[in-house]
Amino acid sequence: MIVVMAGQIETRIAGQTLLGHTGDVLLYPRQMAHSEKSIGNVPLDTIFLGFDMPDLAMDNLPLQAVDMYGRIALLAKWLLDLQISDVRARQRLSPMLLHAVVEEYRTRAAPVANRAANEMVARVRQYVLSHLAEEINLHQLAEMAGISPFHFARQFHRISGFSPMRFVREVRVQAARTLLLSTALPLKTIATKVGFADEFQLSRVFKRLTGRPPNEVRRRG
């Protein structure tokens, strides 16, 4: 699996040519010959995930999809960090993270044909990540998209399945989860870093969206 972090990649595989852009994920099935090269003016930056896990059902998955929510890129970065840091954490977390990558690719990655719509969601996600500790409202997101708040909210929900503000909470919670598992920061500090008023609000929203309280996630992984 190739996660395109920046630039563009051209891949010839299975008799077709795939053009991978930033935010795309390419899947290379085992023993399927392919060739690839960087194209465009932006330096190519990718993360390569090679794995052989028979319990991961990979049949009938598309060869290319858009990582609309950025979760595959986040998980891939985490896996990469584990390779050069904590050996014990790598042994414990790598299988879990690989399963999460495949599940995200299978259930949430979007068809490349919807790229234009997906890019709006990706822009919103990047905006939220860049302003995690700040207050974010619908008018700010609509202004960034260049349309009225009413039309933005309708279009965003149609594309993503979430209201814009629910999506903001999802991104905040995912960022909190990453900090819980990769740092020893207290919950109060994590809450302010990802835009919640305090640890109590974070705990409440985190459990509602994930089904588990933050302390349990940190304890069990």
Specify the pTM: 0.61
**pLDDT one-digit tens code per residue, 34-54:** 999 999 888 999 999 988 776
Residue 156 and residue 94 share a domain = no
**pLDDT one-digit tens code per residue, 55-69:** 666 677 889 888 877
Which of residues 110, 126, 146 is at a domain's end? 110
Which of residues 110, 132, 155 is at a domain's end? 110
Write down the residue that tokens 């904590």 correspond to. 86
Q: What percent of the chain has pLDDT over 90?
A: 37
Domain that holds residue 20: 2-110
* 1 within 8 A of 63, measured Cβ to Cβ: no
Tell me which H or E stretch contains 107: helix 87-107
Residue 24 and residue 98 share a domain = yes
Total domains in the fold of the chain: 2
Looking at residue 142, its pLDDT comes to: 93
Residue 200 and residue 102 share a domain = no
Which of residues 75, 110, 145 is at a domain's end? 110
**pLDDT one-digit tens code per residue, 149-207:** 999 999 888 887 789 999 999 889 988 988 888 788 999 999 999 999 999 999 999 99
**pLDDT one-digit tens code per residue, 123-155:** 888 888 889 999 999 999 999 888 999 999 998
**Closest by Cα among 47, 69, 86, 49 to 182:** 86
Residue 119 and residue 105 share a domain = no
Residue 46: CB atoms within 10 A of its CB come to 21
Residue 122 and residue 102 share a domain = no
Q: Is 52 exposed, middle or buried (0-12, 13-18, 19+ CB in 10 A)?
A: exposed
